[in-house]
Amino acid sequence: MPSPLTLAIIGTGLVGSKLISQIASLSSWNSKFKVVYIASSSRSIFAPQGIDLSSWKERLLAGPVVVVDNTSSDDVASLYPHFLSRNFSVVTPNKKAYSSSLELYNQILAASAKTGAKIFNESTVGAGLPIISTLKDLVQTGDKVTKIEGVLSGTLSYLFNEYSPATSLSPPKSFSSVVRIAKEQGYTEPHPADDLSGFDVARKLTILSRLIPELTNALPKGYESVSITSLIPDALKSTVWSISGDEFIKKLRDFDGEFEELRTKAAEKGEVLRYVGVIDVREKTIKAALEPYPATHPFATSLSGSDNIIAFHTERYGPRPLIVQGAGAGADVTAMGVLADLFKI
């Protein structure tokens, strides 16, 4: 039986709390993981397992240590090179470190290579879905990825599954009303503009792109280098962050006609609208955009609710891509992705 993995858990929001409860409910957790430190934004405590300070210190020095960052903080992310160079491994659903500047990313890789400390981030894309591990396996085994295409935001999946369904018996809804309902049902961020900006999708595309050898250096500024179609109307861009989410949705009504025009134009060709991320390796283009898809396409027919779907086109898989689909957001499945990473260390 190997010695237990020592965990320092930073962040006790939705995902962090769920992760701790998942670890606590594992029947064999006691022998696998030892939580020694839990920190929220305002204070830190030692785990209720109550290890006394002296033996905890010995343990911390003796065994492998993993920092679990459940925050979405840029500040914590900027500390990863520091953690890794001290031989602390890092497991995180925090997208920031992987989707910001190439400089930070390279510092992380260098620190990990130097000490051998591991860093895993499966749940930064698609939560618990096997997306990053699958891409790593494809690349590591020498397959050539030619294109990745997917609906990578649970919120935007829900919005367009509702707004532009493949088949529908009910009368069409206005875009602003779909956003309003999504917010009421908890599908959006508190401020829906955070979802509509496309930044979240751009961050996920950055994380994936950097795992593809041909594109490692393609996004020097991270997600800011991605070609992004924002769903925030141009006329609202200057004021959107100074008004509340609800006020924003009210103002969005004035632009329902613009979205309606796109939907009608697509429908006339038998198409639906989906907000997708596309990485075209040969063309070296990386974009987050609202695109029309035939109503018979899997992105139109297979999706429901806030499902994610991702298609890996590769040389080995030929004309029919490898597809992964399922819930890509939610505290429970995100925490599961973190826990699966912990088992890998």
Structure tokens at 140: 């590591």
Q: Which of 95, 96, 183, 204 is catalytic?
A: 204
**Spatial contact of 223 and 205, defined as CB atoms under 8 Å apart:** yes
Residue with tokens 């994380």: 207
* CA 306/CA 186 separation, integer angstroms: 11
To a copy of itself, the closest distance from the beta carbon of 228 in angstroms equals 28
**Spatial contact of 98 and 104, defined as CB atoms under 8 Å apart:** no
Q: Going residue by residue from 20 to 59, which x/- string records binding to a copy of itself, judged by CB under 8 A?
A: --x--xx---------------------------------
What is the distance between the terminal CA atoms of the chain, rounded to a whole angstrom?
Answer: 15
325 belongs to the binding site for a copy of itself (CB under 8 A):
yes
**Is 204 in the active site?**
yes
Q: Which is nearer to a copy of itself, 36 or 333 (CB)?
A: 333
* CA 153/CA 155 separation, integer angstroms: 5
Q: Which is nearer to a copy of itself, 19 or 232 (CB)?
A: 19
- Choose the stretch contacting a copy of itself; rule: CB under 8 A; options: 140-148, 238-246, 251-259, 268-276: 140-148
* CA 99/CA 77 separation, integer angstroms: 10
- Choose the stretch contacting a copy of itself; rule: CB under 8 A; options: 90-98, 145-153, 280-288, 334-342: 334-342
* CA 225/CA 222 separation, integer angstroms: 6
# chain residues binding a copy of itself, by CB under 8 A:
39
Q: Which is nearer to a copy of itself, 43 or 320 (CB)?
A: 320
Give the binding site for a copy of itself (CB under 8 A). 22, 25-26, 128-130, 133-134, 137-138, 140-143, 296, 298, 301-302, 304-305, 307, 312, 316-318, 320-327, 332-333, 336, 339-340, 343
Catalytic residue IDs: 204
